[in-house]
Amino acid sequence: MSAALIDGKAIAADLRARVGAGVGQLQAAHNLTPGLAVVLVGEDPASQVYVRNKGVATKDAGMASFEYRLDKDVSEAALLAKVTELNEDDNVHGILVQFPVPPHISQQKIIETILPSKDVDGLNPVNAGRLASGLDALTPCTPQGSVMLAKQTLGNLEGLHAVIVGRSNLVGKPAAQLLLQENCTVTLAHSRTRDLADLCKTADILVAAVGIAEMVKGDWIKPGACVIDVGINRIDAPERGEGKTRLVGDVDFQAASEIAGYITPVPGGVGPMTIACLLKNTLDAACAQAGLEKINL
C-alpha cells in the first residue's frame, strides 16, 4: 500500500467541533439555536440508523433536533402537510426528509415543497440553480464533504483534472459544480461513457459515485491521484463467517491504494463528512434566516 489514507472521521470530527463552536457563538450573540428537523417515513433499518445518527450529531453540536416518524402508509398529502408545517416553524432552520420514501409518494414533490432556505439537503432546484450559477446556495452534503476532503488533502485544486463517475443530482452533478468552483477541469462520466478506464486514468482527482461495489479497478487509477470513494455498498463476506457481510466502496480499495497517492477508506471516508456538512448547512441556514452573515468556521 502506497496511498495515504484520507481520514474522513478525523476531518469530520474537526468540522463538527467547529460547527459546535459556531452554534455557541450564535447563541451567545443572538440567542438563536439552530434547529434541524428530520422526517422518516416507514421503518427501513438503514434509514433508522441514519436518522438516529443525525439526531445524536445534531444535539452534540448544540443544536435543537426534531424527529418525526411517519407510518409507511402515510399519504403524500399528509407528508407534504408536515413539510409545510416545518417550513412555517421558526424553531426549525433545516428540514431533511430521509430518502427513499415509499413509492406512493413523489420524492420530487417533497424536494420542491421544502423551502429553499431550509433545504439543508440542497436538492431543491432553486439551490441546484444557485450552485450552478455560482451564487451562494445550500449544497448537497455528500459532494460538499467530498470536495472538502480533496481540498484538505491537496490544498489548491486549481487546474487539476477531476473525473466524477456518476451523474446523480445528489452527488455527481453538484460535485462537478463544486470542483469547477475550485477551478478544476471537470469531467462527468457515467454508465454510457466509453473507455471509462482510460478516462479515469487521466484524473488527478477521481470521485466515484455510482453505487456499484468495487467497480473502479486499481489499474484505472493514475499514479499518485487523489481517490474519493463515495460509494457505500454492503457485500457478502463469507470469509468472516456464514451470513456475514461487509461494507465496500465503489473503488477496489486494495488494488487502488497500491497506485493512488491518497484514498478515502469505506467506511470512515466520505460518510462521516456527510453528517458534518448537514450540520454546517443547518448553521448556515439559521444565520441566513436570521439575516446574519455566515459564521466563518
Q: What does the binding site for a copy of itself look like in residue numbers (CB under 8 A)?
A: 108, 123-135, 158-159, 161, 167, 169, 173, 176-177, 180, 183, 185-190, 192-194, 199
Is position 167 annotated in a ligand binding site? yes
Residue pair 279/61 in contact by the 8 Å Cβ criterion: yes
**CA-wise closest residue to 129 among 147, 116, 145:** 116
**CA-wise closest residue to 178 among 194, 166, 162, 189:** 162
Q: Which is nearer to a copy of itself, 95 or 295 (CB)?
A: 95
| Least distance CB 100 / a copy of itself (angstroms) | 17
Q: What is the H or E stretch that residue 19 is in? A: helix 8-30
Is position 240 annotated in a ligand binding site? no
Q: Of 7, 121, 229, 250, which one is the catalytic site residue?
A: 121
| Least distance CB 211 / a copy of itself (angstroms) | 17
Q: Of 7, 54, 119, 280, which one is the catalytic site residue?
A: 54
| Least distance CB 187 / a copy of itself (angstroms) | 4
Q: Is 54 a catalytic residue?
A: yes
Q: Which is nearer to a copy of itself, 85 or 136 (CB)?
A: 136
Q: Is 144 a catalytic residue?
A: no
Give the residue carrying C-alpha cell 467541533. Answer: 17
| Least distance CB 116 / a copy of itself (angstroms) | 9
Q: Which is nearer to a copy of itself, 69 or 151 (CB)?
A: 151
Three-class SS of 248-277: ECCECHHHHCCCCCEECCCCCCHHHHHHHH
Percentage helix, strand, coil for the chain under 3-state DSSP, each rounded to 5:
45, 15, 40
Q: Is 98 a catalytic residue?
A: yes
Distance CA 12, CA 269 (A): 9
- Known binding-site residue numbers for NADP(+): 166-168, 232
- Known binding-site residue numbers: 166-168, 232
